Amino acid sequence: MTSKNKEKFYLIEKNACPEVFRKVIEVKEGIRKKTYPSINQAVKEVGISRSAYYKYHKSVYTYRGSDFDSVDIFNIISEVDLVSPLDVLFVFDENSAKIISVQQSPVMKGMSTIQIICRNLLKTKAERIIRGLHKINGIIQVNHNAIRG
């Protein structure tokens, strides 16, 4: 795919969008929340045509600002001979963590640090991850920092 064919996205304030875009979003939200039993009913209630809805429904989205509302950073010090990074990642996978970054430091004196950054992780899941990591033989230390937006 060349750069000419790549899709471009713009983040635009709600009040700057044409009314039809706001109404398409209203229909989509109403369907998602089950406020309306059908698209036909939703477009009638909101006041747009079905053709306007179908023209824009795959192109207009809401931005919830949640992609980076919270970030959890785990720094795990481990003995290299006893711990595989895959064992560590398995604990995160078991807890459905949304991992955005994994880094491993070079080995020094038989130890290594693995840093894993997750987004939008519930506090209870973070606690389960920490408990799960401590159960792995060869994990020396687990440090966790949460940044909430």
pLDDT tens sequence across 46-102: 999 999 999 999 889 886 654 447 899 999 999 988 888 899 999 999 999 999 999
Size of the chain, expressed as the number of residues it contains: 149
Provide the pLDDT for residue 9.
75
Give the pLDDT band of residue 4 (cuts 50, 70, 90).
Answer: low
**How does residue 6 score in pLDDT terms, banded at 50, 70 and 90?**
low
Contact yes or no for 141/74 (Cβ under 8 A): no
Q: Which amino acid is at 22?
A: R
Q: Across residues 23-47, what is the average pLDDT?
A: 93
Q: How confident is the model at residue 127 (pLDDT cuts 50, 70, 90)?
A: very high
Place of tokens 């909430």: 148
Pairing of strands 98-104, 70-79: unpaired
Confidence (pLDDT) at 67: 45
Pairwise CA distance, residues 77 & 132, whole Å: 14
Tell me the one-letter amino acid at 136: I
Rounded alpha-carbon distances, angstroms, from residue 123 to 126, 135, 145, 147:
5, 19, 11, 11
- Buried residues in 3-31 as b, exposed as e (16+ CB within 10 A): eeeeeeeeeeeeeeeeebbebbbbbbebb
Instruction: Enumerate residues 6+ apart whose C-beta is below 8 A from 141.
Output: 75, 76, 77
Domains of the chain: 17-56 (no CATH), 70-148 (3.30.70.260)
- Average pLDDT score over the chain: 88
